[in-house]
Amino acid sequence: MSLTYSTYVQQIATMAVVPVTDPNFTIIIPSMIDYAELRMQRDLDFLSTQTQNTSYSFTSGNNTLVIPTSTYVTLQTIEALDQSGSNYPLLPASKEFIQNVYGGNSTTGIPQYFAVYGGDAATAGYTSQNIIVGPTPNLAYTVRLTGTIRSQPLSATNTSTYISTYLPDLFIMASMIYVSAYQRNFGRINDDPQMAQTYESQYESLLKSAMVEENRKKFESAAWTSYSPAPFGAPTR
């Protein structure tokens, strides 16, 4: 059964044995949701969080593209698009390779390689990151980026999310791990020392099947297919 914000809060309150209107419980709800959703997104690399962006461009004669760190959590692919509509995928490489092979801006052409390195961490709290390419662009190419973003969290105003709809069981287990800390049941000397370990164990068990499902969506299951892994007859890759 999928969850909405109200049913999620009610179920957690019931399992934690606290009144849903308890002010202390109400205060931790946003942090509890953050803990659960961020952990799940890092563990599972959801297909639903992959997006593309074409709002940036390479500048002719400049081998560096600067993008905000808020654009993507993880950058996956880069393509250069020319005015005719042709696209040129770039291959990831090391910054040192690009600097040595395409040093300076003297070698120009259609970019073929890219590397990502740090941005303005020392001066502005790391709000941007640099992408160096080689060869240096000979034209102002539109850039198509793909990568993963953080989904909008469940809240009183965003009452349903992908996680609450399709992975409510895993969401509840992850949330209850946080609740265990809230209720100080995280260690051996507490009232219920097994509480955190039990929910952690259930989370890890459910995570395995969820991970298989996400891999199937991306054709990263057995033999690079979308089928469930079979115990027998698995072909080599």
In degrees, to the nearest 5, what angle opens at C-alpha 125 toward C-alphas 146 and 52?
A: 10
From 133, 148, 163, the end of a domain falls on: 148
The band of 190, judged by pLDDT with boundaries at 50, 70 and 90, is very low
Looking at the domain assignment, is residue 231 inside a domain?
no
The band of 224, judged by pLDDT with boundaries at 50, 70 and 90, is confident
Query: Do residues 104 and 120 share a domain?
Result: yes
Is the Cβ–Cβ distance between 15 and 178 less than 8 Å? no
Q: Return the H-helix or E-strand segment holding 189.
A: none
From 108, 131, 148, the end of a domain falls on: 148
Query: Do residues 42 and 54 share a domain?
Result: no
- Span 42-60, average pLDDT: 93
Mean per-residue pLDDT of the chain: 87
Looking at the domain assignment, is residue 40 inside a domain?
yes
Q: What is the pLDDT of residue 85?
A: 82
Query: Do residues 56 and 121 share a domain?
Result: yes
pLDDT of residue 142 exceeding 90? yes
Query: Do residues 91 and 15 share a domain?
Result: no
19-33 pLDDT per residue, tens: 899 888 899 999 999
Instruction: Tell me which residue of 154, 137, 135 sits closest to 41, measured CA to CA.
Output: 154
Query: Do residues 72 and 120 share a domain?
Result: yes
Q: Report the distance separating Cα 158 and Cα 174, nearest Å.
A: 19
Q: Domain of residue 24: give its range.
A: 5-46+152-219
Looking at the domain assignment, is residue 227 inside a domain?
no
Q: What is the pLDDT of residue 115?
A: 95
pLDDT of residue 188 exceeding 60? no
pLDDT of residue 131 exceeding 80? yes
- Span 209-213, average pLDDT: 92
Query: Do residues 133 and 122 share a domain?
Result: yes
Per cent of the chain over pLDDT 90 is 64
Looking at the domain assignment, is residue 78 inside a domain?
yes
Give the gyration radius of the chain's Cα atoms. Answer: 23
Q: What is the pLDDT of residue 232?
A: 59
From 148, 176, 206, the end of a domain falls on: 148
Query: Do residues 42 and 14 share a domain?
Result: yes
pLDDT of residue 173 exceeding 90? yes
Query: Do residues 100 and 214 share a domain?
Result: no
Query: Do residues 133 and 73 share a domain?
Result: yes
The amino acid sitting at 36 is: A
With a CB cutoff of 8 Å and minimum separation 6, the contacts of 20 are: 9, 10, 13
Is the Cβ–Cβ distance between 212 and 222 less than 8 Å? no
Total number of domains in the chain: 2
Helix (H, G, I), strand (E, B) or coil at 148: strand
Query: Do residues 208 and 131 share a domain?
Result: no
76-123 pLDDT per residue, tens: 999 999 988 899 999 999 999 999 999 877 789 999 999 998 766 555
Q: Which residue has the higher pLDDT, 237 or 206?
A: 206
